[in-house]
Structure 1
């Protein structure tokens, strides 16, 4: 029986192995770029972080610069996915709560992602030219959802763009300034930051800005 049109064929063992290796390389590159930036990171350092030889690395990538572009695209796609998975057009309270929880959890679990992006912004974002249109489109899509809530009287009027930027700022603070948060919260280097406490405070802050009271406070 032929596979239905449009159905994705399962990956072969070789394809699965290749995909996993590319993910390993990408994750290693994110850590190295976050720590040392594009110019300060060598392909040897990425290979070492990925646990492979430099020759193996170059089998999978054409250059350090192309890998950096791939990483930036991956980060922005992940952030867009977090919004889309959280978005509930009929229930702003649930959408805002879920979005903030997921943004903060990602910042706590993968701080290197935020740090890499912050490093790129701090140097004037010279590598972002091809990525701005996609980011702009994602932000505009989210802003349209927020404008719909305002028009329907579901939330108080807010600036749809700045509302998003302010959520990012709060969430990413715990990645970019992790050591400050740990010191002030009395959290040791081997203990996780209190995601529930951090998320709940941020959720209440942004729900109140929208004129919403939250009956789903964490216990």
Structure 2
């Protein structure tokens, strides 16, 4: 990659990341291009050189979020045994929620206003969810896990793991953790993992310590 292309790539990434933070904090309507430029460390004129509109940039950020989530979180392979797959999924999801809370916060803000910008993204989400449901149904059919509703099992895992991004301040208050202290992710990960492994019959309640 040439020096010029590398520079453009860095600026585009800075714009995307800055926009993600601003949209997560203030929503589409409440975010100005000036704020995005400041967050990206560039001038407003430079920003408008790289984007066609704030709305198009918002769509780009949504696409980036779903691309990241698709790569990291959807159960898309039956190669791992269920316990290994579920444990790994929960660990990745919790870590990402805590390290990158802006992903979940932007998504929740979009849902709260009726998801008007989601039309082109729903098919990708549904396809990935249906793919994961097929894997879970296969585990059930092969007797590897107890019967569960594959769709609700996924939705419930999303809800529990994303809680620590969407309700971070509540978690800090209840855990008595200050703003500069980390949450006890080992404790959280163990509890969430046990919850879902027990639900699908991979962990007996009396054996949990």
Aligning the two structures, in what range does the TM-score lie when normalised by the shorter sequence?
Answer: over 0.9
- Native 8 Å contact 1:89 1:145 kept in 2: no
- Native 8 Å contact 1:86 1:99 kept in 2: no
| 1:95 Cα deviation after fit | 0.4
Q: Which aligned pairs between 1:1-219 and structure 2 lie closer than 5 A?
A: 11-83=1-73, 87-213=77-203
- Native 8 Å contact 2:83 2:202 kept in 1: yes
| CA distance 1:185–1:143, change in 2 (3 Å) | same
| 1:12 Cα deviation after fit | 2.4
Alignment RMSD, CA only? Answer: 1.7
- Native 8 Å contact 2:104 2:162 kept in 1: yes
- Native 8 Å contact 2:76 2:135 kept in 1: no
Q: TM-score, normalised by structure 2?
A: 0.94
Q: Cα deviations across residues 7-63 of structure 1 (Å, max 9, x unaligned)?
A: xxxx22222222221111111101100111000000000001111100111111111
Size of the alignment, in residue pairs?
Answer: 206
Alpha-carbon distance between aligned partners in 1 of 2:31 and 2:159, rounded to the nearest angstrom: 26
Q: TM-score, normalised by structure 1?
A: 0.90
Q: Cα deviations across residues 169-202 of structure 1 (Å, max 9, x unaligned)?
A: 0011111100000011111101111221111111
| CA distance 1:52–1:85, change in 2 (3 Å) | farther
Q: Cα deviations across residues 112-159 of structure 1 (Å, max 9, x unaligned)?
A: 110000000000000000000000000011111101100110000111
| 1:213 Cα deviation after fit | 2.0
Stretches of structure 1 that go unaligned for 5 or more consecutive residues are 1-10
